[in-house]
Amino acid sequence: MAETTPLGRLIESRRSIRKYLPQPVEREKIEACLEAARLAPSAQNAQSWRFIIIDNPGLKARFTEKAFSGIYAPTRFAAEAPALVLILAKIDFVTHRAGQSVQGIPFYALDVGIAGEHLVLQAEELGLGTCWIGWFDVRKTRRFFKIPRRYKIVSLISLGYAARRPPHERVRKSLEGIAWWNRFDG
């Protein structure tokens, strides 16, 4: 087994944070996270990711009241995070629409997933906590920010200083249970 690298330790330590301190996140740290996301690779270098940073407390309160209402209430914890990052994808016709119809894979989702993971790993390195959020009202989000239909709303990431970090122990499948060398054994 290979020795764990600093990046490996960072990946091992990253947790989904659901309790945040009220301390605002410094703009420079948010920008560093966005810069890490900006450097992510993408299909045909389309760079389809777009980000809306929501860190104004009044605006965030109005937004989260709409986005986390009704059946989306279980993710209301994210309203307590000092910042939210809304991730959008600007859909490119050739790369995304044609590519998806041929391959059956929404490449924009892969692209923003890579960019988002760059963002959360940079946040972890800067001492910030994050949580990926997919359970929120997309229609109300679109109306709230007046987002045109050519943009796909993909996810939210809560961002802030963790009030509590989950323990490091987590149950994971064994490597032998998820990867095979030179054959399929599923």
Q: pLDDT per residue over 107-119, tens digit each?
A: 888 999 999 999 9
Q: pLDDT per residue over 85-105, tens digit each?
A: 999 999 875 665 666 676 777
d(CA 85, CA 112): 12
What amino acid is encoded at 133 in this protein?
A: I
Contact in structure between 163 and 21 (CB atoms under 8 Å): yes
Give start and end residues of each alpha helix (H) in 126-180. 138-145, 175-178
Domain 20-163 fold: NADH Oxidase (3.40.109)
- Ranges of each domain in the chain: 20-163
For residue 164, the 8-state DSSP code is S
Q: 42-46, 76-80, 85-89, 141-145: lowest mean pLDDT where? A: 42-46
Spatial CA neighbour of 10 closest among 116, 113, 124, 120: 124
d(CA 155, CA 141): 11
